[in-house]
A and B are shown apart, each in its own frame.
Chain A
Amino acid sequence: MNDFKEIEPGGRPFVRAYLEFMLWFVGRAIQAASKVDDSVRREFAELPEGFTFALTAAPAGPSMVVGKDNAGKVKYLGRSIEGRNLNVKMTLKSMEGLFQLFTFRESTPIANARDRLFVEGNIPEACAAVRILDIVQVYLLPKPVAKLAIKRYPIWDLKRHSWNRAMVNLRAVIGF
């Protein structure tokens, strides 16, 4: 029996790297959108001071943490959920589920409906977090792709579609 070889599961490094990048960029884009977009700003204004939410994959998949400090400033807080006091935590049950989400083969509502993710925390705050994620996805993705990710593509004015979109993407890249 001592000769039995322990088989360790593969780590899928490319999938992990892709998800790490996507979560990093989305996290920074949420921070950017909170400064550029009125709806996102309003959603955050309604959330309590110190509010923190995370999107992650179980059991040890990549994560993204976004929070609002006591001054009301929204910040991307990094990739680690360890030791954080999270108000809302959205967890995909597997990294594959998160990959399906971020390759837009399955929208967030469908992933939720198919029991691929679970939400811990205050439900009204989770609803706000989902609305924020939806808006940010519209900013980051071209319309045909965004339509796969959200329930309904919004009707926005030209400024929001062009100027705000450019600012959200630019701020997300430079982290400002």
Chain B
Amino acid sequence: MLLPSYYEYCCRVKTVAGHEVLERIPELLSSMHAGKPMIITDKGVVAAGLMDIVTGALADKLVIGSIEDDVPPDSDLRVVNELARKYKAKGCDSIIAVGGGSVLDTAKGVNIIVSENADDLMKFTGAGALKRKLKPLVAVPTTAGTGSEVTLVAVIADHEKNRKMLFTSYFLLPDVAVIDSRMTMTLPDFLTAMTAMDALTHAVEAYTCLSKNPVSDACALEAITLISRNVLNVVKNPTDKDGRLALATAATLAGMAFSNSMVAMVHTIGHSVGAVCHVPHGTCMSILLPYGLEYNMHKNGEYTAELLYAVAGEKVFASTPKEQRAAKTVEYIRGMNQALHDATGGRHARCLREIMGRDGKPMVPAGTLETIARVALGDGSIFYNPEDLDFDDMMMVLTAAWEGVKLDQNMIKKG
């Protein structure tokens, strides 16, 4: 446990979680003086039948202003503008976002435009540009991974100008996060594994990076405990309601942790693997997490060691000598990846070279590693990594993660 001489923590999102909590949305909106929401979602959510559950839960209790399912996998400025136009035309007074990170980011972008009565989203890019509360926003996550239902960031792509705009403000925090186990019940096994490891990475990096603080630590530890106790069981028994709720709750807790203490090199490199090779974020996270912990071991090994209790339980923690606990934590996380690989019939990749696209071709050819390393040098999360990382360090980590071998501790530069 670290007690910094100064830290900040803020999460003002009301969390409502349970097996049948969607039914509470009308009442929650009413308490915010809203009753005609626009529902923003994507076609995947509709195809999975989740919108039927949502609309069934809301039926007769409020007027749904509009249901929009045109959100692409990568949030898009044009879509944001179009949805804002429809919101105004249909006289909506609030937003319900049902989906993953892209849907929620889109909903946040729409909320900026309709609340500020703006025509140009660009005016609000960057940190702190928003100065007042926005329209009521209810977030209903359909994956148990991103934690975006409790984060203050939105990333919206302007595909015409080939750029991504970042928005950061406490006013972007949703008013309510509704965590309902029915929303993740149909998630396929490999997606359950990938998103759970994404949430685990959020929590582990939040606990071990430079900006950790006692409040985010508490969230992170509980998230790690819930994930490590439940993920394999849920992958093997997808209808385990309590397990689904545990993973969804863990993702929210991990979101609360990392949105306050930030993340580190696993995200630094993972973002770049995603940007260069279009690999799903959770896959990058699960592969790179053990490497991030190994690389920083000489700087933050004591925190990694503390995680063994949450990752492996009290018996393993008690029977492992103190000086071996950090390495044991990494070993357990690698073991989780292996177990998930086996349980998903190999669809959960263990190293970068195992990631295959839909066409069956490798998504991360060895020749892309240098480009990934260069892009990673410009990722902001690098500031929060305990140890410095230059191009050569990135290449060392990427090469090991590509091959699926442990990092050689003797090769890590310690200044």
Interface residues of A (CB under 8 A from B): 109-110, 112-116, 118-120, 123-128, 130-131, 134, 147, 150-155
Tell me whether A109 and B383 are in contact (CB under 8 A): yes
CA distance in complex: A93, B414 (Å):
31
Instruction: Please indicate the chain B residues that have their CB under 8 angstroms from the CB of A130 in the complex.
Output: 383
Q: Which of A109, A153, A154 has the most CB of B within 10 A?
A: A109
- B126 A120 Cβ-Cβ under 8 A: yes
Instruction: Flag B298-341 by CB within 8 Å of A: 1 or 0 each.
Output: 00000000000000000000000000000000000000000000
| Segment of B55-63, B186-194, B242-250, B384-392 engaged in the interface with chain A | B384-392
What are 14 contact pairs spanning A and B, CB under 8 A? A109-B210, A112-B210, A114-B4, A114-B211, A115-B7, A116-B6, A120-B127, A127-B377, A128-B378, A151-B387, A151-B388, A152-B387, A152-B413, A152-B414
Tell me if B52 counts as interface (CB < 8 A to partner A).
no
Taking a contact as CB atoms under 8 Å apart, the answer to whether A127 and B378 are in contact is yes
Q: Does B360 contact A (CB under 8 A)?
A: no
**Residues of chain B within 8 A of A115, CB atoms compared:** 6-8, 211
Across the A-B interface, the 4 shortest Cβ-Cβ residue pairs? A124-B378, A152-B415, A113-B210, A153-B415
Assess A112 versus B383: contact at CB under 8 Å? Given A123-B378, A127-B377, A155-B415: yes
Give Cα A147–Cα B299 distance, bound, in whole angstroms. 14
Interface size for chain B: under 10, 10 to 19, 20 to 34, or 35 or more residues?
20 to 34
Q: Which residues of B in the span 374-414 have a Cβ within 8 Å of any Cβ on A? A: 377-380, 382-384, 386-388, 413-414
B265 to chain A, nearest CB (A): 12
Is B5 positioned at the interface, with any CB of A under 8 Å from its CB?
Answer: yes
Residue of A nearest to B383 (CB): A112
Chain B residue contacts of A113, Cβ below 8 A: 4, 209-211, 262, 383-384
Contact A147 B415 (CB under 8 A): yes
- Residues of B with C-beta under 8 A to A114: 4-7, 211
The answer for the CA separation of A155 and B393 in the assembled complex, in Å, is 13
Q: How far is the CB of B104 from chain A (nearest CB, A)?
A: 21
Q: Please report whether the interface of chain B is mostly helix, strand, loop or mixed according to DSSP.
A: loop
A154's nearest neighbour on chain B, judged by CB, is: B415
Residues B380 and A126 in contact, CB atoms below 8 Å apart: yes
Q: With A119-B380, A150-B388 given, can you name 10 additional A-B contacts, CB distance below 8 Å?
A: A113-B211, A113-B262, A114-B4, A114-B5, A124-B377, A127-B378, A127-B383, A128-B378, A134-B388, A151-B415
For residue A112, which residues in chain B have a CB less than 8 angstroms away from its CB? 210-211, 383-384
Contacts of B127 in A (CB 8 A): 118, 120
Known contacts A116-B6, A150-B388: does B126 contact A155 (CB below 8 Å)? Answer: no
Separation of A7 and B384 alpha carbons in the complex (Å):
40
Q: How many Å lie between the Cα of A110 and that of B299 in the bound state?
A: 13
| Cα A88 to Cα B386 with chains together (Å) | 23
Report whether B379 and A123 are in contact in the complex, using a CB–CB cutoff of 8 Å.
Answer: yes
Inter-chain CA distance A110–B386, complex, in Å, is: 9
Bound-complex Cα distance A128 to B209 (A): 21
**Residue among A114, A120, A125 having the largest count of chain B Cβ atoms under 10 Å:** A114
Q: Within 8 Å CB of A119, what residues of B?
A: 380
A135 to B378, CA, bound (A): 17
Cα–Cα, bound, A44→B349 (Å): 38
Which residues of chain B come closer than 8 Å to A134, judged between CB atoms? Answer: 388
Q: Is the CB of B386 within 8 A of A151?
A: yes
CB distance from A95 to the nearest CB of B (A): 15
Cβ contacts under 8 Å, A120 to chain B: 126-127
User: B379 is contacted by which of A110, A127, A151, A152 (Cβ under 8 Å)?
Assistant: A127
Please measure, in the bound complex, the distance between the C-alpha atom of A112 and the C-alpha atom of B210, giving whole angstroms. Answer: 9
Identify the closest chain B residue to A134 (Cβ): B388
- Whether B415 pairs with A127 at a CB distance below 8 angstroms is no
A155–B413 contact, CB under 8 A?
Answer: yes
In the bound complex, residues from chain A placing their C-beta under 8 Å from that of B388 are 134, 150-152
List residues of B (252-270) whose CB comes within 8 Å of A's CBs: 262
Q: Kindly provide the distance from the CB of A19 to the nearest chain B CB, expressed in whole angstroms.
A: 20
- With A and B bound together, what is the CA distance between A150 and B5 in angstroms? 19
Complex interface: chain B residues within 8 A of A116 (CB)? 6
Residues of A within 8 A of B5 (CB): 114
Interface centre among A126, A127, A131, A134 (most CB of B within 10 A): A127
Give bound CA distance, A125 to B377, whole Å.
Answer: 10
Query: Which of chain A's residues have a CB closer than 8 A to the CB of B166?
Result: 123
Q: Which residue of A lies closest to B210 (CB)?
A: A113
Complex contacts, B209 vs chain A, CB 8 Å: 113
